[in-house]
Amino acid sequence: MSHRPVSEPVSSDLTGQTSRRSFLGLLGVAGGAVAVAGGTAALAGCSSESGGAAATATATTTLEPTQPTGAWKILREGNDRFVRGEPTHPHQDAARRNELEAGQQPRTVILGCSDSRVAPEILFDQGLGDVFIIRTAGHVLDPGVIGTIEYGTEVLGATLLMVLGHTSCGAVEATAGTLASGEQPPGYIGAVVDRIIPSVAQITRDGAGLPAEVDPDVLRTAHVRHTVAALTGYSTALREGVSDGRLSIIGVEYDLADGKVRLVEVQGDVGEQPEA
């Protein structure tokens, strides 16, 4: 992974950069200084009009793409194109590849399920350098996953973090099955299930009934929300990012049937609240 961001439109508000610099200094994060220096170079480079592929990506929005609200709007618009069957496949050409050779500055970190039907670049119609993605079955967390997320937000400077669940998630259904039957899945699949059990336990404790009786849609949403809460519970960096206003964390669900995404949880501000 490269630490040097590419030149593309960035906010003229340096607050986020400043707080990130001081934060990285406190953490002693390797590469942090390089990232901040690169960010400064990117800021200097944005005095001229943005051109090429970067301009294409931002042409449909007036919001600042490096802020959480703008980052979410870009993904929303990409999903709309995907649902309509009119993807533009942005940032997938040789020019973009060449632009990114010097470094990356993704706007959004996505922690999604490994399910082969839920590929973030496709369902949000994104391209090279746009999204920093971690995928595990059932979007479960472990130290390496959280560390990768922190790399995306604290070093690369992404301002939006998304947990992406989906309908018919086999990992969530397997967890409900394990709790109902008491039979452990084979091998390390059990380690995945173990990390989903707290989400299921929380909702059944709250009165939803036995795991086998709970609507799978309810379980799935609970697991997305619980994962968002767990991230800020585990990670001081992510928690402070939200409280400082430089990071927003959202929970999103993807519907396999119609391709639409739905906001189910927001920490921070993305200009939209979850549907009731």
Residue ranges that bind Zn ion, judged by CB under 5 A: 113, 115, 169
- Closest to Zn ion by CB, 89 vs 260, is 260
d(CA 11, CA 29): 23
Residue 206, C-beta contacts closer than 8 angstroms, at least 6 positions apart: none
Report the nearest approach of Zn ion to the CB of residue 165 (Å): 7
The smaller minimum CB distance to Zn ion, of residues 141 and 169, is found at 169
Residue whose CB is less far from Zn ion, 115 or 253? 115
Q: How many CA atoms lie within 13 A of 148 on its CB side?
A: 17
Shortest gap between Cβ of 137 and Zn ion (angstroms)?
A: 6
115 or 265: whose CB is closer to Zn ion?
115
Which is nearer to Zn ion, 135 or 239 (by Cβ)?
Answer: 135
Contact criterion met (CB below 8 Å) for 9 and 50: yes
**Angle (deg, nearest 10), helices 170-181 and 216-234:** 100
Cβ proximity to Zn ion, 150 vs 253, nearer residue: 253
Instruction: Report the nearest approach of Zn ion to the CB of residue 102 (Å).
Output: 35
Helix (H) or strand (E) holding 191: helix 189-203
Compare residues 92 and 136 and give the one whose CB is closer to Zn ion. Answer: 136
Q: Which residues pair with 252 in a beta bridge?
A: 164, 263
Q: Are 24 and 17 in contact (CB under 8 A)?
A: no
- Compute φ and ψ for 109, nearest 5 degrees: -105, 130
CB of 88 to Zn ion, least distance (A): 27
For the CB of residue 263, give the shortest distance to Zn ion in the complex, in Å: 18
Contacts of 138 (CB under 8 A, 6+ apart): 113, 169, 171, 172, 175, 192, 195, 196, 223
| CB burial readout 113-151, b (16+ within 10 A) else e | bbbeebebbebbbbbbbbbbbbbbbbbbbeeebbebbbb
Question: Which residues lie closer than 8 Å to 187 by C-beta, 6 or more apart?
Answer: none
User: Closest distance between Zn ion and the C-beta of residue 166, in Å?
Assistant: 6
Calpha distance 218→10 (Å, rounded):
38
Nearest-approach distance from CB 224 to Zn ion, in angstroms: 11
